[in-house]
Structure 1
Amino acid sequence: MKSLGSIRRTFAPWTNAEAKPFITFENVTKTFGDFTAVDNLSLTIYEREFFALLGASGCGKSTLLRMLAGFEEPTSGRILLDGQDLAGIPPYRRPVNMMFQSYALFPHMNVEKNIAFGLKQDGMPKAEIEKRVADMLKLVKLEQFAKRKPHQLSGGQRQRVALARSVAKRPKVLLLDEPLGALDKKLREETQFELMDLQQDLGLTFMVVTHDQEEAMTMADRIAIMDKGEVMQVATPAEIYEAPSSRFVADFVGSVNLFEGKVAGQDAGRVKIATASGFDIQAEESAAPPAGETVWYAVRPEKIRISSQRPETAVNAVEGEVWDIGYLGDMTVYNVKLANGQIVRSSQLNAHRTTADPLTWNDRAWLAFPADAGVVLTR
């Protein structure tokens, strides 16, 4: 499969058939009474990978994290870390550390004592503790706040203290459960990049649980989309967004337009889809389903151009009525109602301060997109 989207970095061990997974969930199931939180799940994660579990509340992602940390035991299946079966190993003996959303800092201790706590519990010599704490303070850029207590810090600073305490023991894996949930939007965006840089500097394996799509897309090397205790797709952020494996994934990540239809033919690497929206779609698809099969064509709003006149060279075009307009500053979102009542969304980047083709409510408008704009889905 060709690379999709920008290249995050050359690190991609999952593409190497000889690479050995660092963490393996092998047919893992976890039940709580009659409720199945994780359902026969298998997953592999590689050393030094920044891996994200993304899904709605109750999909099983935090339960998976807690089983790896040792706070929960699988009902069935195995979890292996660096080749070792973790069954029966208590949390404090696992080379794993977990950072919680609440940070769980000790309010009566200052920053350096919070960071040193776990090292003292392990019986590390005082001189080594002092050096390790100094290294951690420098790493998270909090040297001048060493004597302050948590209540004297901002939310972002407390987050960094919790992070420093988590990595001070140098675990093989750092688990982060909604680590940025308590931060405001701007600080959360800044901290995402700080976490990425820190993970690279430390060379650790990070596994983060989040329900924030943007957070997962920004930070992770790969993302596992979860639903009802199952993994729906595991791929890089670009592949998840541009080549979703199902309607669920396409609809869950970002905004998407889904056109239902039946395969009406195939020719020269393209498939013709007769849609229920009243127009035919020409889509690039090398392995098209057989004629007559029901499929869905998923296309992102930013891939659809909108104009008052039909584009002469458009491969796919349909006319509708401008139903709603949302001005977001950097872009404008148009909701266009087709003849059959379907609402199609088009997002246009506001690259210029004025537009030569202004559209407003109730205007007739044409939506157009190329054959390779979207993906054909069979489920």
Structure 2
Amino acid sequence: MAKSLGPVKRKFSPWTEPSATPFIRFEDITKRYGDFVAVDNLTLDIYEREFFSLLGPSGCGKTTLMRMLAGFEEPTSGRILLQGKDLSGTPPYKRPTNMMFQSYALFPHMSVEKNITFGLEQDGLAKADIAARVEEMLKLVKLESFAKRKPAQLSGGQRQRVALARSLAKRPKVLLLDEPLGALDRKLREETQFELMDIQHTLGLTFLIVTHDQEEAMTVSDRIAVMDKGVVMQVATPAEIYEAPNSRYVAEFIGDINILECSMVGQPRPSLLAGHPPHTTLDSQGLMIGVEQDCKAGVGEQVAFAIRPEKVRISLDPPADGTANAVHGEVWDIGYLGDFSVFLVKLDDGRILRAAQANVSRLVDRPITFGDRVWLTWSVDAGLVLTR
């Protein structure tokens, strides 16, 4: 049985079922603007009721991909399927999707309820049905008492919820969110992320969000597609993306990480513990590192060893565990972030490693400070060998 890499939000993983049919399928999609390739021969499956994130830096192709699904752009080649139907040639207003833009695009002269009503009236719904739908949406986003206000009379978070209610009012099969929380301050953004998750679970819709914010994607998503230069680098759950990145690009893009250049000096050998993966030995400029991983690289090949700062223990005392990886150095800098502290430790060969320590109490008997000689240690299963 595969080792669990972290908690999941819910018991929902259709992508692990061989018989599951994708709700949305991007099939061999390429999008060119002249000589520039925005999306490069990309294939990606998204499942019904999934909260899926496209994550990457500006210019990686994530927004272009979403706009093609919405019908605002047409692929240069390839096709997009929704519930098995090819969307080629289908205009945006006939697609069962709706998009919530970063700017919210609310009508400033209309009240909250009129903003929500507008799209329903365009669709020709009966007045009674419109009234019931608007009441339902206002209740869903907790804005019942703000129905008569204009957008200018609302906070940024309230305007965001109005835009969400308007997008959901037409009951799309897929809600597309283009950097929807970018205009909110950090605290409100974090609160709204959980509200989005609750609404998505309540309605049972498929949400596709485009974001460059790693924490946002990690918080809301069932799965994440990390993109770079029009290509999907990895698709996995947030825990898998963080704990088992498949490349240096993904490892460095998601969170903080230490990466040491190494060469293979020992082929994987059986673990001393039953049921554990084989051990691999690496040489990083004289620092010997043991890794509990079956690495496919051969002896002498160049690889990278990656380890998250929170998995590196820092101590003034030598390690008591003789089986742990250990290295000596000097505290070069300290970042105090409230809930935890980050220590930059300069090794004797000049390299810098980061160690993160939770501030679990207000008082520390032997505080670690600038200039201290310290030991950094980590277990054989804490890091990861990357071959690309």
Confirm or deny: 8 A CA contact 1:45 1:51 kept in the other structure.
Answer: yes
Question: In the alignment, which residue of structure 1 is the partner of 2:306?
Answer: 298
Q: Does 1:330 align with 2:339?
A: yes
Distance 1:287 1:255 in 2: 23
**1:55-94 counterparts in 2 under 5 A?**
55-94=56-95
Confirm or deny: 8 A CA contact 2:138 2:165 kept in the other structure.
Answer: yes
Question: How big is the shift at 1:6?
Answer: 1.1
Confirm or deny: 8 A CA contact 1:28 1:74 kept in the other structure.
Answer: yes
The aligned amino acid for 2:180 is: P
Question: How big is the shift at 1:114?
Answer: 0.3
The aligned amino acid for 1:80 is: L
Question: In the alignment, which residue of structure 2 is the partner of 1:104?
Answer: 105
Question: In the alignment, which residue of structure 2 is the partner of 1:365?
Answer: 374
Question: How big is the shift at 1:286?
Answer: 2.6
**3-state DSSP of counterpart to 1:231:** strand
Distance 1:34 1:288 in 2: 37
Q: Does 1:149 align with 2:158?
A: no
- The one of 356, 365, 379 aligned to 2:365: 356
Confirm or deny: 8 A CA contact 1:307 1:357 kept in the other structure.
Answer: no
Question: In the alignment, which residue of structure 1 is the partner of 2:212?
Answer: 211
- The one of 269, 273, 278 aligned to 1:267: 269
Q: Does 1:376 align with 2:385?
A: yes
Distance 1:136 1:223 in 2: 28
Question: How big is the shift at 1:274?
Answer: 0.7
Question: In the alignment, which residue of structure 2 is the partner of 1:239?
Answer: 240
Q: Does 1:308 align with 2:308?
A: no
Confirm or deny: 8 A CA contact 1:56 1:227 kept in the other structure.
Answer: yes
Distance 1:280 1:39 in 2: 40
Q: Does 1:284 align with 2:284?
A: no
| Structure 1: stretches of 5+ with no match in the other structure | none
| Structure 2: stretches of 5+ with no match in the other structure | 271-277
The aligned amino acid for 1:297 is: F
Question: How big is the shift at 1:358?
Answer: 1.5
Confirm or deny: 8 A CA contact 1:103 1:158 kept in the other structure.
Answer: yes
Distance 2:291 2:204 in 1: 42
Question: How big is the shift at 1:321?
Answer: 1.1
**3-state DSSP of counterpart to 1:353:** coil
Confirm or deny: 8 A CA contact 1:155 1:182 kept in the other structure.
Answer: yes
Question: In the alignment, which residue of structure 2 is the partner of 1:158?
Answer: 159
Q: Does 1:117 align with 2:126?
A: no
Confirm or deny: 8 A CA contact 2:295 2:385 kept in the other structure.
Answer: no
Confirm or deny: 8 A CA contact 1:298 1:376 kept in the other structure.
Answer: yes
Distance 1:7 1:64 in 2: 26
The aligned amino acid for 1:35 is: F
The superposition leaves residues 44-65 of structure 1 with CA deviations (integer Å, 9 ceiling, x where unpaired) of 0000000000000110000000
Question: In the alignment, which residue of structure 2 is the partner of 1:201?
Answer: 202
Distance 1:196 1:345 in 2: 33
The superposition leaves residues 295-349 of structure 1 with CA deviations (integer Å, 9 ceiling, x where unpaired) of 1111000000001121120510001111100111111100001122211000000
The superposition leaves residues 190-240 of structure 1 with CA deviations (integer Å, 9 ceiling, x where unpaired) of 000000000000110000000000000000000000000000000000000
287-296 or 304-313, which moves further after superposition? 287-296
**3-state DSSP of counterpart to 2:377:** strand
The aligned amino acid for 1:351 is: V
Question: How big is the shift at 1:3?
Answer: 2.3
184-193 or 264-273, which moves further after superposition? 264-273
Q: Does 1:319 align with 2:328?
A: yes
Distance 1:263 1:39 in 2: 33
The aligned amino acid for 1:323 is: W
Question: How big is the shift at 1:287?
Answer: 4.1
TM-score by length of 1: 0.98
**3-state DSSP of counterpart to 1:133:** helix
Q: Does 1:4 align with 2:5?
A: yes
Distance 1:36 1:341 in 2: 41
Confirm or deny: 8 A CA contact 1:271 1:288 kept in the other structure.
Answer: no
Question: How big is the shift at 1:356?
Answer: 2.6
Distance 1:288 1:64 in 2: 34
Distance 2:297 2:60 in 1: 31
Distance 2:350 2:67 in 1: 45
Distance 1:182 1:195 in 2: 15
Question: In the alignment, which residue of structure 2 is the partner of 1:34?
Answer: 35
**3-state DSSP of counterpart to 1:188:** helix
Distance 1:356 1:243 in 2: 35
Question: In the alignment, which residue of structure 2 is the partner of 1:343?
Answer: 352
**3-state DSSP of counterpart to 2:180:** coil
The superposition leaves residues 100-159 of structure 1 with CA deviations (integer Å, 9 ceiling, x where unpaired) of 000000001000010011100000111100000000001111000000010001111100
Q: Percent of pairs identical after alignment?
A: 67
Distance 1:377 1:339 in 2: 24
The aligned amino acid for 2:311 is: K
Distance 2:92 2:104 in 1: 18
Confirm or deny: 8 A CA contact 2:116 2:162 kept in the other structure.
Answer: yes
Distance 1:11 1:292 in 2: 42
Size of the alignment, in residue pairs? 378
**3-state DSSP of counterpart to 2:44:** strand
**3-state DSSP of counterpart to 2:132:** helix
